[in-house]
Amino acid sequence: MPQKKWQSLLRRAFLLSTVLFVLSATLSVNYYGGCNPTSYDKLVENRDYIISKNQEQISQSLNAIVWSVALWSVIILVCLLAIQRGKTKSGTKPSL
């Protein structure tokens, strides 16, 4: 696959995967108490509970961003190493 197509594919995949990581982490926070569900009215009354759950959502989202960047750093490193290896095998000097 030509390098231009790889760039386009990686750019789109990066954006999509990062958005999906963050969205899945945000939606993984449970407001209703898991096994002991609480009614919506009781949840709305307890402001401290809502604030703590919002903080948990923010924390999960930021954690997902960190993992996404770490994963993509590894993917880009592997791609750069593969390009460098291909250039050294073909006899041209690698330029980074």
What residue segments make up the domains of the chain, in order of their start? 3-90
Cα separation, 94 vs 87, in Å, equals 6
Which among 68, 52, 81, 79 is positioned nearest to 43, based on CA atoms?
52
pLDDT tens track for 63-86: 999 999 999 999 889 888 888 887
What number is the average pLDDT over the span 35-58? 86
Write down the pTM of the prediction: 0.70
Question: Bigger pLDDT: 40 or 3?
Answer: 40
One-letter amino acid at 57 equals Q
